[in-house]
Structure 1
């Protein structure tokens, strides 16, 4: 009987810890929203830069932008929204430089 109570108590603790990570505080929710918007903007900029003929230097910058947006998505996965925003902004900036370099 005490073994069952111990297992039940452990299950309750695990459920509580799991739920506390899923339920975001209001300030975290706004950071999450900002990070999602920043990542989507970076992806859009990368998609536009993808269409452009690139030099070797610009290709490296383009690949860096793609890596940074992937890193931003990884930080979203671990709920580090500030770093996700930062990496997404860096990705958007790098992709923007690629597009700007292609314009006459």
Structure 2
């Protein structure tokens, strides 16, 4: 049995200011089920002293959110109910956890 321990959950903001606008969801997305797809990544330690340096990982995510700024936005329904991404720079969820077993 695997035991997961949640250590921290924070929102990481883009390192710099990002464009503020809305992006429509593509018409192809209308034929798919609208659901959030959670992602979990597992990494084996490689022996380096800073392999799981959380500060470094958050800083890297913060820098990545600048060119990929829609990821730091929020899904909403725009005028007429059409789904869109509000590119508002509110950040991305970063969850730190430990798995044992």
Higher relative contact order (CA 8 A, sep 6+): 2
Indicate the structure with greater helix content: 1
**TM-score bracket for the superposition, by shorter chain length:** under 0.3
Q: Which has the higher strand share?
A: 2
The TM-score with structure 2 as length reference comes to 0.25
TM-score calculated relative to the size of structure 1: 0.25
Of the two, which has the highest radius of gyration? 1
